[in-house]
Amino acid sequence: LDVATVSITDKKEVVGAHGVTIVTDTVIDEVTGANPKWIVLPGGMPGAENLHKCVALGEMIERQTERGGHIAAICAAPAVVLAQAGLMDGRKMTCYPGFEGMCGSADVDGGRSVVDGNFVTANGPSSVTNMCYEILKIEKGGDTALNVLGGMLVDTDKGDFSL
């Protein structure tokens, strides 16, 4: 899948919660009019709160939802970004433990990764493989997704990796 990383600031360098600097492909001002197939939101704090406060990203998420595009979010982002925007009301989702109170009327599942319509949510860093599996399954089909995980030596018999 073609992926572009995007900074929500005017700088391509982004420092994560654990002090690791990532250099993104572009900045949000360069993609605000785009219609991506997916928007994938990382978690962590204060990163998820920064995403929530980003007006341009909020507008992109709103357009993505209106046009039926896909959105994935992991860790704190499902609660802090998606649920606080009211996008998860009445939907099944998961998030990092302790953020359930921010989820409004969402049906919060304790699972590693949950798919509801065009939304894929995952509960934390150790569930990134589960979230990516669900994205691959949607984009390329279950057999391809399982083949990719097999190539990564993921024991799909011991996880939530059903077709």
Which residues does residue 108 pair with via DSSP β-bridges, in sequence order?
Answer: 93
Question: What pLDDT shows up at residue 163?
Answer: 59
Residue carrying structure tokens 């018999």:
157
- Residues above pLDDT 90, as percent of the chain: 88
> Of the candidates 22, 20, 19, which has an alpha carbon nearest to the alpha carbon of residue 3?
22
Q: Which of 63, 52, 70, 57 is nearest to 29 (CA)?
A: 57
**Cα–Cα distance between 136 and 2 in angstroms, integer?**
12
Confidence of residue 51 (pLDDT cuts 50, 70, 90): very high
Q: Give me the pLDDT at residue 161, please.
A: 77
The chain-wide mean pLDDT, for the chain, equals 94
And the tokens for 104? 């409004």
**Predicted local distance difference test score (pLDDT) of residue 33:** 87
Which residues share a beta bridge with 7?
Answer: 27
Which residue type is seen at 50? N
- For residue 130 the two structure tokens come to 């589960």
State pLDDT tens for residues 84-112.
999 999 999 999 999 999 999 999 998 99
